[in-house]
Structure 1
């Protein structure tokens, strides 16, 4: 078998040559030599390779719009349909076994920056801001592993994200586990770089602290944003143990700094015991819409989301989804579980209900995988991130 790797400029190729199970080394070939090498037996693939080497034919190889690209080319009999596309395509399990390859979200290509991307998945492995059970720092790693089960298309909504947007996994923010404030600085600077070029970040947490510096970067570009916030908790505390930054305070800090358009904030799934008689008074005073979990029990949330869409209008909106918004019967792998939460189907109704909004960023936080050995919490998180990708502006539906 011969596997062809393309990297760097269009004229540089490297061929890994194998015979049965024996690796015979690599050879560097020019575009024309490579095309000739494949001419006799693989004429269609050869033509596409030759065209890619000699001209910028659209759709020849998946690539970012920045100009650099890479792709694996297999024998024709192993080539899945629509392999040659102008967008990054996750491989099909019909042709590539799910455990094969470097672990990335949905098995997408891994990029070192967001340049040339319409949307980027990024991990923030931080849990220094947790108040109960730690472990969300491992959330991005496990969400990526479980995401291998998620496929390309969304039959329930008709969304075709990978034929609509250039998407890749751009790795993790290099946080400081020993200094939460410094981590917020690092996150803010990383997301400034992501959003400045128009790329929409879809973030894997990490605890909910990370949403505060992300929204600082988002608001620098878009101004105050609307917020669809799914959670068991409002995360609008002022401080704990003398600290004003932790996972219970991100949206209080966002209000303090004018990052949110408070009349366009909806918090859904809120529940649990409290230390005061009126735990939601601060949210109501700001103009937030607070939807308690008990008002969601045993009903469809489609009518609610029709109201939320009207509330958000056509201005920028951010989606922040804490996995503990889901009942712990479905998502036990989290640090602050609360009973009697939303169901996965209701979570899908909420995200589907965001279709058509001017979404400028999303996150999925608080997956702490060691409390769920089945991996189901991380699997649910991966699916919810896919659903968020499917409702981004520019995604075509069939």
Structure 2
């Protein structure tokens, strides 16, 4: 069983920086989840520097503790995890980077281990989805973001951080009729910037609509849309209002608080989630490191969902064993 160092015995400023002070080891034995970094930011359209996002999130995560009071679970009572390290990216070459991602994620997915993947810019989601589709077939997408990232091209380029989900639909990686995008907002070039995502098959809940229907209804619609399908969750940190996450490349005002975002991630409990990515954290603009704190908290909630899923399986197995013994 792999779990973090006890910070009551070993100070947080000791040792190399891994997520939550987990063991840094590339293993697929006896683990339920792994933290994987993909420090690639060649595909951004504005601020660069998200390549340093994974280490920035890891630095902040040393403050995390194993018990989640909001979900009432001690993560490592039910699951084991490691910091798997980073996939080797190729700066300036997105296609070779995608190949490395598919190859690097393969041994993890082959053992049904759940990766929490730290970016990097949002272009990495296409590489992630290629790896997942290769192992599992098309997956449903739950996407939290201020942008739909379904542009056809950016500056004539087909592979940018604003295009991954259009490419994913075109490549057949997504069960798009059971996929949903949440939080879109901000000035656009025209209504097609949102409508294109709907035409591709996504359900889209813009921030304007979220304010009308409330977060509980958003979660109801997510669960209804996914409807028991295998799920990949993609979380762009610019989903948060820049007051809570200034350290990102394309901030958009008018977004959720960090508390609201954490509640939304917690509310994904019960979905058949196969993996996560968390992208677009940019340390150079992270005043007071509040973006890193938010991002590490989101990743912590993602790990908590893994533990909750494991606990439910254990409880169900105990019920079945009890029923069998009674008969």
Same fold (TM over 0.5): yes
Counterpart in the other structure of 1:396? 311
Q: Give the CA deviation at 1:394.
A: 3.0
Please list the CA deviations of residues 186-223 of structure 1 after superposition, one character each: whole Å capped at 9, or x if unmatched.
11211122211111110010000101011011011111
State the 1:241 CA deviation: 2.0
Aligned residues: 312
Task: Give a deviation string over 1:52-93, Cα, whole Å, max 9, x none.
Answer: xxxxxxxxxxxxxxxxxxxxxxxxxxxxxxxxxxx2221232
Residue in 2 that maps onto 1:362: 276
- Between the aligned partners of 2:30 and 2:7, the Cα distance in structure 1 is 27
Q: Which has the larger radius of gyration?
A: 1
1:143 to 45, 48, 57: 57
CA contact (8 A) 1:317 1:360 kept: yes
Task: Give the one of 230, 241, 260 matched to 1:316.
Answer: 230
CA distance in 1, matches of 2:73, 2:151: 37
Matches within 5 A, 1:138-217: 138-217=52-131
Structure 1 contact 309–353 (Cα < 8 Å) conserved: no
Aligned to 2:151: 237
CA-to-aligned-CA distance 1:265-311 (integer Å, 9 cap, x gap): 11111011111233211211122111111222387412220221122
1:281 aligns with 2:195: yes
Per mean C-alpha deviation after superposition, the further-off stretch among 248-257 and 306-315 is 306-315
Residue aligned with 1:375, SS: helix
Q: What is the distance in 1 between the residues matched to 2:141 and 2:102?
A: 18
Superposition pairs for residues 227-266 of structure 1, below 5 Å? 227-266=141-180
Residue 300 of structure 2 aligns with which residue?
386
Q: SS at the partner of 2:274?
A: strand
Alpha-carbon distance in structure 2 between the residues aligned to 1:123 and 1:106: 14
Residue 371 (structure 1) shift: 0.2
Alignment-derived partner of residue 221 in structure 1: 135
Q: CA deviation at 1:115?
A: 3.7
TM normalised by structure 1 equals 0.76
3-state SS in 1 of match to 2:67: coil
Bigger proportion of residues as helix:
2
Deviation at 1:95, TM superposition (A): 1.6
Q: Which residue of the partner structure matches residue 100 of structure 1?
A: 14
Q: Does 1:134 align with 2:48?
A: yes
* CA distance in structure 1 between the aligned counterparts of 2:256 and 2:47, rounded to whole angstroms: 21
Alignment of 1:123 onto 2:52:
no
Distance 2:212 2:196 in 1: 28
Distance 2:135 2:2 in 1: 26
Q: Does structure 1 residue 328 correspond to structure 2 residue 239?
A: no
Which structure has more strand as a fraction of its residues?
Answer: 1
RMSD after superposition:
1.6
Q: Which moved more, 1:259-268 or 1:294-303?
A: 294-303
Structure-2 residue corresponding to 1:293: 207
Return the structure number with greater relative CO, CA threshold 8 A, min gap 6. 2
Aligned equivalents of 1:277 and 1:174: distance in 2? Answer: 38
Give the match's secondary structure for 1:361.
Answer: strand
SS state at 1:319 partner:
strand
Query: Secondary structure of the equivalent of 2:181?
Result: strand
Partner residue in 1 for 2:216? 302
User: Is 1:352 equivalent to 2:266 in the alignment?
Assistant: yes
